[in-house]
């Protein structure tokens, strides 16, 4: 049986995006980059919503990403990807499939096939999957910054989503990786 996990950067005050969609505070440090390479080497199918997909596709195919973070860029560009969007017309990033309907059915079908999937960013997809009870694991990289405002993780969640802490790992730059399983 496959599983659905998620990986997000969050601020100390619980935001995954700052004001005006600001992500400049996302600083994984060397250990975070190593973690990204390790996670991507698992060949998990990456899951995105439209907004995150468009941002990721433009960045990870750029010369900057390929020059400065090649191992991460290679993993992002080579792994299979699914973008869930009712309005996106096409998904032309390498190894990407566009799914316009039935998020739950698609995730459950892939789980039945033994597929491991990871939501990257994509707050609305994360919230939907948590509410539907199909999110199995959550990795949060807590960055030591307070933003004061932005977009909260699980923004708009309509019912509690219970998690159990599995591990916590501090990084030398002050960030902390928290690993949770849902129950």
Interval 22-63: pLDDT, tens = 999 998 788 888 888 888 888 899 999 999 999 999 999 999
Closest CA to 72 of 26, 109, 125: 26
Token look-up 């017309």 returns 89
- What's the rounded Cα separation, in Å, for the pair 173 and 180? 21
Q: Mean pLDDT score of the chain, rounded to an integer?
A: 94
DSSP letter (8 states) at residue 180: E
How is domain 3-162 classified at the architecture level of CATH?
Answer: 3-Layer(aba) Sandwich (3.40)
Task: Work out whether strand 137-143 and strand 176-182 pair parallel, antiparallel, or are unpaired.
Answer: antiparallel
pTM assigned to the model? 0.92
As beta bridge partners, residue 34 has none
């Amino acid at each position: 049986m496959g599983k659905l996990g998620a990986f997000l950067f969050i601020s100390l005050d619980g935001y995954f995006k700052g004001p005006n969609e600001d992500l400049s505070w996302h600083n994984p440090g060397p250990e975070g980059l190593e973690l990204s390479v390790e996670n991507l080497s698992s060949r998990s199918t990456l899951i995105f919503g439209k907004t995150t997909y468009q941002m990721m596709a433009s960045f990870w195919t750029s010369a900057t990403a390929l020059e400065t973070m090649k191992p991460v860029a290679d993993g992002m560009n080579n792994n299979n990807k699914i973008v869930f969007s009712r309005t996106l017309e096409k998904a032309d990033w390498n190894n990407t499939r566009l799914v316009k309907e039935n998020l739950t059915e698609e995730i459950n079908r892939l789980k039945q096939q033994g597929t491991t999937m990871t939501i990257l960013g994509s707050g609305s997809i994360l919230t939907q999957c948590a509410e539907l009870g199909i999110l199995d694991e959550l990795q949060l990289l807590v960055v030591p910054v307070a933003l004061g405002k932005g977009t909260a993780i699980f923004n708009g969640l309509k019912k509690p989503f219970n998690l159990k802490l599995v591990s916590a790992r501090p990084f030398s730059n002050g960030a902390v990786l928290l690993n949770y399983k849902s129950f």
